[in-house]
Amino acid sequence: MSSVPDTVDGPLFHIEFVTKDYGLRAWVTGVNGSLDTTLACWRMIAEEVRRMQPKALLVVDDMDGEPPPPGQLLEFVQAMQGQGMEAVRIAYVERHAEQIPQVEFAGLLANEHGFNAQIFGEEAAAVIWLRYGGG
C-alpha cells in the first residue's frame, strides 16, 4: 500500500513522503551539518505527521554532512516537543554507519523526553520494528 509521493524542500534538503502499510515514510536527502538544518527538516516532517496522522513514521536519512554536535542534541529534542511527534512510533535509519553513535545518543534523549524512537542502520530492520514492535 503506497501512495504517490509528496515532496517538500528546505534550503539544504529534500524530503519525499510516501504512505506505507506501517505508516509514513520520509526519505531525506541533501546536506546537513547544523542544528538549524536539522530543526527545519524535522519540523517539516512533523507538519506532515500532523497532517497525515500515521501510526508510525520511518525516516530514512540519506543526507550528506554531519548531524548536529552532541552538545546541541538536547536542544533539538526539546525543540521538537509539542510538535505532534510524541504520539507516533519513530524509526530512524541512518545510512552513514559512522554517524550511528551520535544519532543513537539523540534517540536516547528523545526517548527520555516522551518520544518513542529507535535508531537503525538498515531500513528492513526498521520496518520490522514499526510493524511488529520489540526493542
What domains sit in the chain, N to C, each tagged with a CATH number? 6-132 (3.30.750.24)
Q: Is the pLDDT of residue 72 over 60?
A: yes
Q: How much of the chain, in percent, has pLDDT values that exceed 70?
A: 90
Please indicate whether residue 70 or residue 25 has the higher confidence score (pLDDT). Answer: 25
Tell me the pLDDT band of 9, cut-offs 50, 70 and 90: low
Predicted confidence (pLDDT) at residue 103 exceeds the cutoff of 50: yes
Sole residue written with cell 515532496 = 7
More confident residue, 12 or 112: 112
| Average pLDDT of the segment spanning 21-25 | 97
Q: What b/e sequence results for 6-34 when a residue is b if at least 16 CB atoms lie within 10 Å of its CB, and e otherwise? A: eeeeeebbebebbbbebbbbbbbebebeb
pLDDT value at position 49?
97
- Distance CA(96)–CA(66), nearest Å, equals 9
pLDDT of residue 4: 45
pLDDT of residue 108: 93
Residue 5 pLDDT greater than 50, yes or no:
yes
- Average pLDDT over all residues of the chain: 90
pTM of whole model > 0.85?
Answer: yes
pLDDT of residue 8: 60
